[in-house]
Amino acid sequence: MELHIPNPKTLQKERAKDLIEEVLAMKNSADRLTVKQFISILNELLRIKVVVSTVSEVMIFVSQKKPELYHAARLAISHASHLKLLFEIRGDAALAEKRLLAFVQE
């Protein structure tokens, strides 16, 4: 009987898709639990190195479509946090959403 070992790249891409789907489904809320979950997702997306990261699209999407969550998360992180730079990303929200949906549907 042959063991099937999943491809790490495939596993990481699937995990990235799951994380993006979570962000898309998140409510636009400044409550502590939602903000903590969003920050956790950002950290996990940054750790995925095998696939092309969609963190910039996530940040653009959240900044435009979920402003309460975006600003609450921005205020929740420290000024020395490695995530601080992510909150300076700007772009076209419609294009970011289109790219996120395309990534999830691949």
Q: What is the pTM for the complete model shown? A: 0.87
SS3 content of the chain, % helix, strand, coil (to 5): 70, 0, 30
pLDDT at 8: 82
Extents of the domains making up the chain: 8-105
Q: pLDDT by residue (tens digit) across 85-98?
A: 999 999 999 999 99
Q: How do residues 11-31 score in pLDDT, each as one tens digit?
A: 899 999 999 999 999 999 999
pLDDT tens for each residue of 55-82:
999 999 999 999 999 999 999 999 999 9
